[in-house]
Chain A
Amino acid sequence: MKNNRRNFIKLAGLAAAGLCVAPKTTLASGGGHSPVKPGANARNAKRWAMVVDTRRINTDEDIKALQDVCHAVHNVPDVPTNQNIMWIWSAPYEECFPEQHNPYLDDDVKERSYMLLCNHCDNPPCVRVCPTKATFKRPDGIVAMDYHRCIGCRYCMAGCPYGSRSFNFGEPREYLDPTKLNPEFPTRMRGVVEKCNFCVERLAKGLQPACVEASDGAIVFGDLADKDSDVRKVLRENFTIRRKPTAGTEPSVYYII
C-alpha cells in the first residue's frame, strides 16, 4: 500500500475512534477528568461567619468546655508546655481587643474571658505569606490548611495578627491518648502548623461546627452573604465587635458585647 497523506489521515481517524471506545479505566484520573461532587447534605455558604455571645460564654470554664469538645473531635494534643496546640482558647479583654481600651469600661465586660479561635479573615495574611500554598482561602471564606503541603516554615504564624496558629514542635501523637482518639479525623505530624478549620469536615456532612453544637445557642454560625441567615439576624439585633480592626484582615468571628 502506498503511504500517502490520505492513508495517514484515515489511520489517524481510526485510531482516534479507537481511543473513544477504549476501556474507561485507563482514562480514570486522567487530566481534566474529575468525577467528584460535594456531598448531598453538605452545607454551603458564600461567606461563613461565627458570632460568639460573650454575655453567655465568658468564663474560663465555659471556654474550656468548648475547647475540650473541639480538641477531642480534631485530635488536638494537649502538650503541657508553652508549645501547646490551641484551636480554641481563652484570653482576657485587653488581649482579645487590644485596640479598644477604655479605662472606665464596664467591669463586667472587662472581667470576662473571651473565646479565641482562628478568625477566618476575608483578607488573611497567613495565606498571602505561605510559600507553598499549604494554607489557602476557600471560596466560602474558610481559611483552610493542607497539612500535606505544610513545610513548617511558620511564616503564617508570623503573619497572623491573632496568634491563631500553633506549631507542632514535637510529635503530636506523643501527647494524645490512643484510646480517646476520634478515628474519623486524622492527627497531625511533627513540623506542621495547625489551627481551627471551622469544622469543614463537619460542614461537608451537613453538621454544625463542634463548638457551635456544644454551645447551646450561645455561638451562632451561618452565611454572612444571606441576609435572612441566623448570623445576620444576630448581628442586626446586637452590638458586636471584631478583633484588631486596624489590621485590615476583616475577621469573620464577631463578638456580642
Chain B
Amino acid sequence: MHYGGKIIIGIVIFVGLLLSPFVFNVGKAYKQPELKLPANEKKCVESLEFMRTKHMQLLNEWRDWALRDGKRVYVNHEGKEFEISLQNTCMKCHKSKADFCDKCHNDAGVTPYCWDCHIQPEGLK
C-alpha cells in the first residue's frame, strides 16, 4: 500500500481524537448542577416539571403576550395571577442569575441573550 504507514498513523490519531472526550470522562458520573432555589417561595408560576422542561417556551410566549398583545397578567393553572415580566416577576424570587440561570445554562452549553437587555438582579457589572 502506497503511504500505508502514514495513512494508518493518521487514522490512529483521528480515532484517538474522536474518542478523547469519552476517555477523559470515563468513570466520572454526571452530576446535575445544584441550583439555589428561592428561600421564601415554594411554588413557581407553573409546576416544577413544566418549568424545568418548558420555561423557554413560556418565556417566549410571555414576551409576545406582554409586548405585542399588551396583556401583562398571566393566570396559571391554579388561577393565581402573575405579572408577565422576566425582570420583575421571575427574578424577584430567583434573586441571583449566577446561582440559578447560569448553572444549568453553562452545564447545557446554551447562552440565551436575555441579559443583553434585561437587567439581572445582581445589577450590571
Q: Which residues of A contact B (CB under 8 A)?
A: 24-25, 28-29, 34-40, 42, 75, 136, 138, 140, 144, 146-148, 173, 176, 178, 181, 183-189, 200, 204
Q: Which residues of B contact A (CB under 8 A)?
A: 46-47, 49-50, 54, 57-58, 61, 63, 65, 67-77, 83-84, 87-88, 113, 116-119, 121, 123-125
Q: Let me know if B125 and A178 touch, CB within 8 A.
A: yes
Give chain A residues whose Cβ lies under 8 Å from the Cβ of B118.
186
Q: Let me know if A181 and B124 touch, CB within 8 A.
A: yes
29 contacts between A and B (CB under 8 A): A25-B47, A25-B49, A28-B77, A29-B58, A29-B61, A34-B61, A34-B65, A35-B74, A35-B75, A35-B77, A36-B69, A36-B75, A37-B71, A38-B71, A38-B73, A39-B73, A42-B70, A138-B70, A146-B68, A148-B63, A176-B124, A178-B123, A181-B119, A183-B121, A186-B118, A187-B117, A188-B117, A189-B116, A200-B70
Give chain A residues whose Cβ lies under 8 Å from the Cβ of B124.
173, 176, 178, 181
Give chain B residues whose Cβ lies under 8 Å from the Cβ of A146.
67-68
Q: Among B47, B57, B71, B87, which residue has its beta carbon within 8 angstroms of that of A36?
A: B71
Q: Among A28, A37, A40, which residue has its beta carbon within 8 angstroms of that of B46?
A: A28
CA distance A131 to B88 in the complex (A): 31
Tell me the number of A-to-B contacts counted with CB atoms below 8 Å.
Answer: 82
Q: Among A29, A38, A176, which residue has its beta carbon within 8 angstroms of that of B70?
A: A38
Give chain A residues whose Cβ lies under 8 Å from the Cβ of B58.
28-29
Q: Who on chain B is nearest to A190 by CB?
A: B116
CA distance A112 to B96 in the complex (A): 49
Q: Who on chain B is nearest to A33 by CB?
A: B61
Q: Let me know if B50 and A36 touch, CB within 8 A.
A: no
* Other 6 A-B pairs with CB < 8 A, given A36-B65, A39-B83, A187-B119: A29-B54, A35-B75, A36-B73, A148-B63, A188-B117, A189-B117
Q: Among B46, B72, B75, which residue has its beta carbon within 8 angstroms of that of A25?
A: B46
CB contact under 8 A between A136 and B119, given known A25-B47, A181-B124: no
- Nearest first, the 4 closest Cβ-Cβ pairs linking A and B are A189-B116, A36-B71, A178-B124, A186-B117
Q: Who on chain B is nearest to A136 by CB?
A: B68
- Which of B54, B57, B58, B68 has the most A CB atoms < 10 Å from its CB? B68
CA distance A200 to B125 in the complex (A): 28
Give chain B residues whose Cβ lies under 8 Å from the Cβ of A176.
124
Report the minimal beta-carbon distance from A72 to chain B, rounded to whole angstroms. Answer: 14
Give chain A residues whose Cβ lies under 8 Å from the Cβ of B54.
28-29
Q: Let me know if B72 and A38 touch, CB within 8 A.
A: yes
CA distance A186 to B63 in the complex (A): 13
